[in-house]
Amino acid sequence: MSDLPDAERVRRYLLELQDRICTELSAADGGCGFREDVWSRPGGGGGRSRVIEDGAVFEKGGVNVSDVRGDGLPATASANRPELAGRGYRAMGLSLVMHPRNPYVPTSHMNVRFFIAEKPGEAPVWWFGGGFDLTPYYGNEADVRHWHRNARAACDGFGADGGDALHARYKAWCDRYFFLKHRDEPRGVGGLFFDDLSEWGFERCFAFLRRVAEHFLPGYLPIVARRKTMPYGERERAFQKIRRGRYVEFNLVWDRGTLFGLQSGGRAESILMSLPPEVSWRYDWRPEPGTPEAELLEHYLVPRDWLAES
């Protein structure tokens, strides 16, 4: 089998993955389906957005596939990669964000993507990226340990030592990336994050992308099943909305995918699908000491090696 990059294979996989993920998330919600929106981009390419709203479990969520093309990258996208200047590009990926109704169910995000830039007479520049992370509103150690064990399993068989070093590297990268620098605060409890992956060749890198993608639902759905019927009240909902505000801040200020999408003329509705439906900001709000809300900040939103502790 050739090890040349094959964008069409990646595209077909992403569309099939979207179908499977939407089916399983709909079942987890209790049958509320996803609205589908197929769109095209004037500059080239398009996508297939699927959004769920007002479900029994998921207040809002989206599973989007995009495949966009262009003759040149935005200056901000090529600033650190001068070899991309003057190349046409194709960027595709699946991006998923689920915002649950019950504050005891975490928000979760997953993204897998492929990028290729080509120029006549020169070898293509390409790479894979992606990962997943978990953003709880109320901490639960069993859930977080399960999440990180699942992330470690996604790395099995990759890397020189079978996956331990790779997992440690991509866990640390996730912790660094999903961090609100302006608040000196993590967005959640992490997971995996990787980018610019091409060093193993196309087939091996594509296999790793698929492995990460296939581990999202086994990590998230058991947590959803355990927490979705827990009783909650206005206090928990109010705290959920405050923490959702942090999610909005990260996506609009720091997230590279959001910035690339908007700067390259992407479809705003699909890019901003990741934002939660109800959010609040309260000036200088701080949780009362000794409360579950304070525990989230003090015990969970701090650097921890969850697997070593377990």
Which positions make up the binding site? 95, 99, 109, 111-113, 148, 182, 265-267
Look at residues 16, 10, 112, 102 and name the one whose alpha carbon lies nearest to residue 58.
102
Q: What residue has token string 């690339």? A: 260
Those residues with Cβ within 8 angstroms of residue 51's Cβ, 6 or more apart along the chain or in another chain: 34, 35, 37, 60, 61, 62, 273
- Check residue 238 and give left, alpha or beta (phi > 0: left; psi -120 to 50: alpha): alpha
109, 146, 167, 215: which is the annotated catalytic residue? Answer: 109
Look at residues 53, 124, 134 and name the one whose alpha carbon lies nearest to residue 87.
124
Which positions make up the binding site for a divalent metal cation? 99, 109, 148, 182
State the number of CA atoms in the 13 A half-sphere of 214 facing the CB.
Answer: 12
Beta-carbon count within 10 A of 245 CB: 16
Look at residues 69, 64, 52 and name the one whose alpha carbon lies nearest to residue 94.
64
The reply to whether 109 belongs to the active site is: yes
Burial grade of 16 (CB within 10 A; 0-12, 13-18, 19 or more): exposed
Which positions make up the binding site for substrate? 95, 111-113, 265-267
Residue by residue, DSSP assigns 149-188 as HHHHHHTTT-STTSSHHHHHHHHHHHHHHSEETTTTEESS
- Which amino acid would we find at residue 220? Y
Query: Catalytic residue numbers?
Result: 109
